Each structure stands twice: as C-alpha cells, then as structure tokens.
Structure 1
C-alpha cells in the first residue's frame, strides 16, 4: 500500500503545482498588459512540465488548458479592455495543444531510448545475464526490506584452459550449459554475470539445500563433461555468504562472497563458506604488502640475535640473525608472515640486503669491542640462485674487511627438497668462498636424509618439533640417529627451541654440539647480546 499511496501523493502534488503555475502565468500576463506582448510565452513553463511529468497525453492536456487560460478570458489589451478574437485564441489553443503533444511525445521517445540503454547496460555481453549494475540494486532492495538471503559467487576456474587445450569454440557452449543448469535450480532472473567465467547467484533457499545442490552439480561437472565429440573436466568452485542484516549495502555482501571464493586454492573445486578469520588474514597480508616498502625506507625494521650455545662449555659460539618489524601502534606481525608476503610482492631481496648490511655492520662494531662472533643469515631460494645478489653480498663482506667464515648461510629443509641443480651449485660455491651452510628445520620433511645427501652443508639444525618430544624414548632414538648421521659426515648439529634443563641433559647425552632456545636466551638486541656475551665469558 505504501508505493501506490506514495505515487498518488506525488501525482496530486504535480497537478497542484501545474495549476499554481497556470494561475501565476495568467496573473503575470494580465498585469503586463495582455496577450499582445511577449509575456504570454511564460505559459510554456507549465506546458513543458506537463509533458515531462505525463508524456504526450499530459503535454496535450496542459497545452489545451494553457490555451484556455489565456484564451477567451484574457484581454488582448488590458488597459483598453479589448478582448481577443475567437480566431486569435483558437489558434493559440491549437498551437499550445500541439506543442504540448509534440514535446510529450519526444520526451516519451527519449525515455524509452534511455530505458532500453539502461536495460542494455544491465546485461552482460558475455552471457546475456544481468550484470553488477542490476545485481547491486537488487541486493540493496532486499537489505532495505530487511530480508535474509544467500549470495554465491560461482566460478569456472579452468575455462581458459578448456579454450586453450580442448577447443576454443566450445567455450560458449560450456557457459550456456552451466547457465541452463543454474537457471533450473535457482531461476534465470536471479543469476548475474560478472565475466564469462564467473556467475553470482541470489537465492532465498536455505543454505543446506543450496550447498547440497551446488556440491552435486560441481561434482558432476568435475568428473566428466561431454560437448560434441569432446570429453573433459570442468573445474568449478563457489563462495557462499548468508546475509542476516550484518552488512550495510549490497557491495559488502558481494565482496564477502568473492572473498569466500578466493579463500581456497586457485584451481580447487567445491562450495566454500565465507570465513571472517581468513578474510582478516588476507586483509592483513594486503596491508603488509602496502607497508613493506615504507617500512624499509622509514627504518621500521630492526635485528635481534639469538645465541647458539656450545653444550660442552656453555660458551656463545655464534648467533642467528632474526628480523623484527616495529609497527608502532599497529598490530605486531611475526617475521613468518611478513617475509612470506615480501617474497610474493618482490621486496624480499631488498629486505635481505638490508638485513645483511646491518648484520655485517654489527659484526664490525662487535669486533672493535673485542667480541669475535659468527652470525647465521637466512636466505631464500631466489636469492641463492641470483648470481648478482651473491656477488653483491660477497662485495659487501670484503668491503668491511670481514672473513666469509664469519657469516653462515641458513636454508630451510624445504629449500633443499627442490633439488635444483643450480641451487646446489650455488651452495657449493658459497662454501668455497668460506661460508658455512646450515640446514634449518631439519627433520620436518619426510625425505630429509635424501635431500640433505644431495648438498654440501656444515650444520643441521634439528627442528623444535623433535626437541619438544625428547622425553619419549622413540624420539630420543630418532634424534640420536640424526646426530650420528651428521657426525659421521664430520658435520655439526644444533638443537632448536631448547626450553628446559631436561632437554639440555638429554641432548648432551646424545652428543649434540650446540643448542639455541629460550632456556639459554630469547633473541636479543645488539646491546643485550653484547651484555649476554660478556656475562657468559665471566661465568
């Protein structure tokens, strides 16, 4: 009832407004002396508005009314009291009516053309479905009405591959078959096309039913699809969000559905619900990516050093260099998070150069104070295989008058599992310079011995996973075998994540060479490390 009542109210207001203009026009023409002046042209204002409000019929009606208003009742000369002839006002009546009709007809045609253009703007050229221009108003209308609904972003993840490796000409048939299938399940008017491979579904059906129907459909396409003489697999994934009043507008709901779509691997299949925790993590990653370069330029990074302790005399033999990020009032971020993002966005080499320069400068500063310490720096696969980067590092060390043996290169076991010949040659070359090579996180990979046997190394660092479980006899036997293996090759062993005296006792009984962890020390700033080192010398 609200809509018709509102429309009627608007209609009456427009009639009253036009009537008021007619009265004002009559009065203005009269006080300016009658119809013999140019003033009667003001009557075109209500005629134009009538045509605009109600089209050709409205223009005709208001035009005829205007002709009568300043027709037989309006003098030709007010002062002389001379009235218009019937011929005069009849011609004016006819012309005003025809002008109103013509203007209204023209406005109607323009409006129809605009409506047709708006309709075309709402249709996807790829699929013939409605697009985002129609979807967002539909969503907003549901939100305003307080309705609940589900929105599903539906994507064909291998459509490009089908075009490349099966037959490009069947892509349209693939899309049309899927649209027909979705139309049977949800209705074509509730499908929206974002691109040729992405469709959005708006539905009031309960989530369980939607999940079941989509999962069944996706599984069917994933197993086998035949079009003509071609048999192939269509990979589809869908991201679903259920709206119950938590968003302010349709765009927010749509973004959540697309976030749900992206929360799985690029070529994964299935139906996935929106996960706010994953969304926050992705938002943080984007925020990190945007802040990394500024962090480098504004010196927000700093180094800490975790001591590596000789288990025979508890002396500090070396230290691992660790990177930290001071984000001020912002949420702290662990190096595991921002280093991964730095690798993805291409800032990792610049960050690594910063780390190396600061670490080398710190070694020089400590050497001037009589502290002779070796440090281990983590490098990625890309850096190890970048000859220009390796030469830069070599020059930076020589420039400061340091020995290559003072800097160890730490690599993760994940790096060794790649078994890249160029990488293996690079590691061998680093050892010929004098660098020691340490394999971090040793034991986490299922093929540890095979991987390590392929490369030149000096030290393995047993992963914290094994150290945490040293109270178990079978774990002690496993760690003993790791240590024995390294010692038979003439290599050293460092235990990571040592936190208790009991762990130290077991490691000593197993002949482990060194250890690092909170039992001995947290990662320390340069000043703290210097103090710790001196205290260990005294003790």
Structure 2
C-alpha cells in the first residue's frame, strides 16, 4: 500500500534558510583561498569544506524533520555519519579544484560535478539510513531530475562565485551565489523526496541497532559546528591574518598596507609630517656579505627606529631598505629634529655575525595635509626630497620645496620626451676645436651633443645626459652620435680637412660586451680610417670592472682607434692604473685651468704633465678661456688646449669658415693661438 507523507512548511523554510546561510558562509570563507599563502589556503579550504558539508547534511535532516509519515522513524548510525563524510569530502574536492586564481571552464564544470554529486550522494545515503516500517522505491524520472538540478545549480553557483570572488564579503554576487547553491541543495532534496515512494507490508520487522535521538542531536551538533567554524574563521581572519597582512614579517614593523590604511583613515588631517628613509650603501652590503647579513642589518635598523615610535609618531617598513615615519601634528622644525636624531642613530656601528658594519641613511621630509583625492602626495614629495638628499652626498636629510617639485616635474618630462628625441631629430652635434700651441695648428675636434626641445628650448647636456643614463637611452643616443661624427669627419676629409674627431662614451656601452664590434661597424659604414676617431672615457668608468674595461679598450685600440681619458683628476684617482689602461691622451679638467694662479694647482699640473711624458701620453687642457691660461699651461709643458679662447662649439657646416679664418690669422700669432 502506498503511503503519502506531509510537510511542516515552517521547518521547510528553515531548511532552505540553513542551506543558503551555509552556502554563504562557505563562499565567504573560501574567498580567502586564492589570495592566501600556501598554509593559509588549506586552512580556508578545510574550513569551507566542513561548513559546506555540514550545511548540506543539516539541511537534509532538517528537511526530514519537516516530513511526516505518521509513524516512528529511526536512522542507522553509520550510514548517517557516512552521508556527512560524503558531503564534506565532495565539498573539499570541489573547492580544491576551483582554488587557483585562474581556472578554465572545464575545472569549474568539474568542481560543479563534484559538488552536485556530493549533494546527491548525501541525500540518497541519508535516505538509505532511514529505518521505518515501510518499503522505499523511487521514480527514476524524478531521481534524474533531482540529479540534474543539483549539478546545474552547483555549476552556476561556482561559476558566479569564481567570477566575482574578489568582491567584498557582503556583495550581492556572493548572496546570489549562495541562493543558487541553496536552490541546488534544497531543489535536489525536495525533488528527491518527491521521487521517493513509500509502501507498507505487515511482515516488515524493525532493526534494533539504532539510536532514537540521533536526528535531533546530529542536526543540533552540526549547526553548532557550522557556527563555531564560521566564527573561528572570522576571528582568525580579523586577528591572526590581519596581523600577517599588515605587519612586515622580517622586522615586525607595520608594512606598506598599514601605511596606506593610515592615509585612508586620516584623510583631511592637517600638519602631517612624512619622513622617507632609505639606507645608503645597503646594496653593497647585500652583494658582498650576502642577503642573510642584509636582513639582519635591516632588523637591527628597525630596532633602532622603534625607539622613536610614540603615540603620534608611527614607523613603517615599506620596502627592502626603505622605512617611513608619519608624524601627527608636525611642524617642519619637529620633522627636521627627528631626522637629525635618526641620522645619528642609524650611522652608529653595527656588530652582526662577526662583522663590524657602518651604514648611513638619506631622509626626505614633506609636511602638509592628507588631501581628499591625493592621499599619496605627501609620500611622493618625501620620496623626491630623499633622492635629492642622495644626490647631495647621502647621510643627510632634505625638506621638500616647490622648486624641488618643479625640477622633478621637468625631469619626468625629459624622461618621457627623450624617447622620441632621436626619432624626431631633436638632437644635433656641435664641434669644438683642439689646438696645438707648440706647433700652432689645429689638433682635432670634439663632438658634443645638444638637444633642442620643441617646448623647453635648448637643454644642457649636464641635465639630459644623466636622464639618458638612467633610462638606458644613452646607448642608442651614443650610437647615433658616433655615426654622425664619423660621417661628418669623412665629409671634412673629402674637403681636405683631415683631423680626428673625438666622442664621449658612457659606461653603459662597456656593459654591452660588443663595443669594439660596434665601433668597427660604424667605421666601415662611414668609410672612415680608424685613426681619425678618438673615444673619450672618464677615469671613474674604469673602476666599474677594471679587467673588463681594459680588455675592451685593448680591442678598440687594436682597430686603430685612439682612446683618451676625459676629466682626469676629478673622479676616482686612477693613477695607479695608468700604466695598465690602454689610452693615448689625458684631458685635464677645467677645474685645474681655472685655478692656475694657485701654486698648488700649477705643481699638480706640472706633475701630471711629467708623468704623462714618461708614459708616452699626450695632455690636453680643457676650459681654456684667456691668454693667461695659454701662457701658464705652455710654461707647464701642456701644449694642446681646448676652450672658448679658440672657439665655442659650432655646427659642422661652420667648421669650414672657422678653419679658413684661423688659417689666415695663424701666421700673425706664431707663438700663441687666437
């Protein structure tokens, strides 16, 4: 005989609510998975699986509580527990498959398959666990419908959740996903119940191995588990994980995220002081002693900085060797005094792993308000001031000024525009002659680069060359200069003006390991004899990698190209390497020329000239502007000169006229130049 059951619709509504809340709790917990570390991922994965599996199980048995067959009903203990395990394990597998940040549709479908299968398995195992005086059979069409509902709804819920899981935890998308997942659970359950057919037979007996209150106790305990796991996960997130997210792991100082949160919470605050601290020479310590020693040094610096922390003074570690102080209610005088104290503390000796280390710092200061739409303006200003302190010699602080900001904006504009300067033919070359006083004749030319900016006008090489060095465009620019200078020199040669031209090189070109091949290719392209090209290097260049630079210079000279050392005596002293460095000429910096009235400078120049003679090197003096310079340098033994006294740098088309004029006047000035 067929037996019809009835439902308590209040409990049905409760079962639907339990399914949706369990789904939402699961999605909320597992939204942490993709952005967590490896260990945290599995914590959230396990938590979400327990909540989801328990939620499915609880919904099923609350639904069974709402169903009345008007007879006593019990449940097999082991099958009931097995149904809980089935729903939890399937939830774990589904969430594990969909855990990565970037997954394809196949994996989403596979996750939906496991989630839906878990719901189906849990339901029909739970039904099998029923002990009652009825025989149970199923309508196959409705059973298939329940399975389809579970699979499709599970897939849809996972798809929505994965697509929008980076939304905030209270977003409507998560609620929509939770509702769809609740539909998957409840729709499958009540369709499955509709598929169930109950028949009675008088000869059926009862099993004795049952526990009468298992349904009530099991559901109650499971709901408690859901609440405990959800609350435990939220506590862990708000306390443990928040600490991990906003605290630097090495120094235990607040990190960049905490700094950003401070700015966000204090928008509109007035008189905020920002001190941007960067350690000097830190890279050298990392490179020579290793990153382990570097980390220990950073930790020790953090310990010292922590002494300056007060209620209104906050310190953050925002990078490898970068720290930041934010000072509330701060005037410039207070910020400067704090910077002075920090500089003094940081430069004290460090004893780390048997090493006695000395390090300094550069500090940039900005004082102002945290604007509503530009909360990072103060930070940018402090950063600009810090780099200014670096350029001024390090181990000091600088306060941001509007003038500094204007220079920074100009530098950024140059960085942006220098990329197109070559393409738009804004660069051009000028040539400054070198004169041999002893022989009263032209010695050669130096090619000098100029930039005519369409908006900013003529830009000094001292301004744009460092920008080109930093951005790396100096390589392509120097290649263009070499090609243009060689072509111009060849053009002069066809007119009977046969003098060498010199070009300045950047250290960046030596880092390419193909400089000699470069030069050879350019000479062949211009069809210029190698002895008519001279390459100028600075003495500090050699110290980057002495052996490599010397090797490449030997290769260049083997082509027949001459090499000179520019600005000699102003960089790192390379006197001890002069007998090893393959050069032909020393160029005295204008620093010596302008102080010729000092006996000490004259003595140094005389010593350099004598040393150069013994090494077989030519000496050229730069910055010659007066007749007195010419006479003094000649007395000291320097006979090749370059400067405004002879000519300002001129364009290539002006050289012909200059040579013609000075050849005519050469006879009138046999002992000096023009």
What are the residue-to-residue correspondences of 1:381-530 with 2, within 5 Å?
Answer: 381-384=507-510, 386-418=512-544, 420-445=546-571, 447-530=573-656
Q: 1:165 aligns with which of 292, 302, 313?
A: 292
Residues 3-50 of structure 1 deviation map (CA, whole Å, 9 limit, x = unaligned): xxxxxxxxxxxxxxxxxxxxxxxxxxxxxxxxxxxxxxxxxxxxxxxx
Q: 2:436 aligns with which of 262, 287, 310?
A: 310
Q: 1:536 aligns with which of 657, 662, 667?
A: 662
Aligned residues: 417
Distance 2:290 2:603 in 1: 55
What are the residue-to-residue correspondences of 1:368-379 with 2, within 5 Å?
Answer: 368-379=494-505
Contact 1:243–1:253 (Cα < 8 Å) also in 2: yes
Distance 1:449 1:172 in 2: 40
What are the residue-to-residue correspondences of 1:246-325 with 2, within 5 Å?
Answer: 250-265=375-390, 271-325=397-451
Distance change (3 Å), C-alpha of 1:182 and 1:398: same
Aligned partner of residue 242 in structure 1, secondary structure: strand
Distance change (3 Å), C-alpha of 1:275 and 1:431: same
> Normalization by structure 2: what TM-score?
0.53
Residue matched to 2:268:
141
1:201 and 2:323 are equivalent in the alignment: no
Distance change (3 Å), C-alpha of 1:498 and 1:139: farther
Distance 2:290 2:537 in 1: 41
Aligned partner of residue 186 in structure 1, secondary structure: coil
Contact 2:447–2:502 (Cα < 8 Å) also in 1: yes
Distance 2:421 2:447 in 1: 18
> Normalization by structure 1: what TM-score?
0.65
Deviates more, 1:262-271 or 1:196-205: 262-271
Distance change (3 Å), C-alpha of 1:167 and 1:394: closer
Distance 1:467 1:128 in 2: 54
Distance 1:214 1:336 in 2: 31
Contact 1:139–1:250 (Cα < 8 Å) also in 2: no
Aligned partner of residue 631 in structure 2, secondary structure: helix
Residues 152-210 of structure 1 deviation map (CA, whole Å, 9 limit, x = unaligned): 345678699699415979989986x6786454x2347x677867964441311444444
Residue matched to 2:121:
none
Deviates more, 1:363-372 or 1:153-162: 153-162
Aligned partner of residue 514 in structure 2, secondary structure: helix
Distance 1:172 1:387 in 2: 39
Aligned partner of residue 268 in structure 2, secondary structure: helix
Distance 1:320 1:473 in 2: 30
Residue matched to 2:15:
none
What are the residue-to-residue correspondences of 1:186-197 with 2, within 5 Å?
Answer: 186-187=311-312
Contact 1:191–1:199 (Cα < 8 Å) also in 2: yes
What are the residue-to-residue correspondences of 1:30-45 with 2, within 5 Å?
Answer: none
Q: Cα offset for 1:354?
A: 0.3
Distance 2:475 2:414 in 1: 16
Aligned partner of residue 141 in structure 1, secondary structure: coil
Deviates more, 1:296-305 or 1:369-378: 369-378
Residues 97-118 of structure 1 deviation map (CA, whole Å, 9 limit, x = unaligned): xxxxxxxxxxxxxxxx9xx99x
Which runs of 5 or more structure 1 residues have no equivalent in the other structure?
Answer: 1-112
Contact 2:267–2:370 (Cα < 8 Å) also in 1: no
Residue matched to 2:131:
none
Distance 1:359 1:201 in 2: 53
Distance change (3 Å), C-alpha of 1:389 and 1:215: same
